[in-house]
Amino acid sequence: MNYEDLLKREDKRLSSLLTNYSGRHLLQLGDHTLLSLAVSPILHKIHISNTLRPVNASPSHYAFLQSAYTNLPFASESINLVLLPHILELNKNARLVLSEAWRVLAPNGHLILLGINPLSLWGLYRFFSSNKNLAWNGCTIQTICQWIYALGGEICHTESFLFRPPLTSNPGKWLFDKLFWLEKISPWLFPYLGGIYLIIAQKRVRRPSALGFVWHFPPILTNKSLAPVREAHRV
């Protein structure tokens, strides 16, 4: 199984989740555009990458921006759903990235995180991989949940999946297919040892007013310059 197959499995899992979240704005960070975003009922979808050109191009009806993940060009509490697929594990300032994503998350909005679980065979494979060009910051599920609690968030759901070992050779792919039964029994035996973790958190904030508790949607873009200052074209 290669990285593209991994993304397809994540997209499949997200496709069953994203239909449950509504709002005005959806934000995804990362170099890959998740295909599962198409099933989301949120109309305004934004893709941000810290590189000028993402690995796969965003669909024409998505807005694309280039920005540092630690300095997002949005007003505080303006995004209803934020997705961070494999962002924290590839960033040395993982906690700062999480704090910035939390800043732009709207009251009662949701944050979805995906990443390689360091406490798994996939985590060991990634740690000992010969490809050292990319920094890897293996954050455990427990550590990320503690960071979210420190921000005042509420953990709605945690899980891990992909319990089969990372077999990439041709004979290994054959064995990988034969081990499909691990995906059925492993969630019951060792639920947090899957290769991919998924965490869903909610920003539980209510704004009192003279009329009671109301929703508040501030303007999405601010005058804050992008970091780096250059902005890619927006479609």
Residue 28 has pLDDT above 50, yes or no: yes
Tell me, what's the pLDDT at 136?
Answer: 65
Q: Which domains does the chain have, with CATH numbers?
A: 3-214 (3.40.50.150)
How many angstroms separate the CA atoms of 131 and 137, rounded? Answer: 14
pLDDT in tens, 199-235: 999 998 755 555 554 444 444 444 444 444 344 444 4
For residue 198, list its beta bridge partners.
Answer: 114, 159
Strands (E) located in 132-219: 154-161, 196-202, 207-209, 212-214
Tell me, what's the pLDDT at 180?
Answer: 74
Residue 133 has pLDDT above 60, yes or no: no
**DSSP 8-state assignment for residue 17:** T
- As a whole number, the mean pLDDT across the chain is 80
Residue 39 has pLDDT above 90, yes or no: yes
> Predicted confidence band at 57 (pLDDT cuts at 50, 70, 90)?
low
How many angstroms separate the CA atoms of 51 and 191, rounded? Answer: 35
For the segment 59-63, the average pLDDT, to the nearest whole number, is 75
Tell me, what's the pLDDT at 142?
Answer: 92
Does pTM top 0.75 for this prediction? yes
Which secondary-structure segment (H or E) carries 10?
helix 3-15
> Predicted confidence band at 135 (pLDDT cuts at 50, 70, 90)?
low
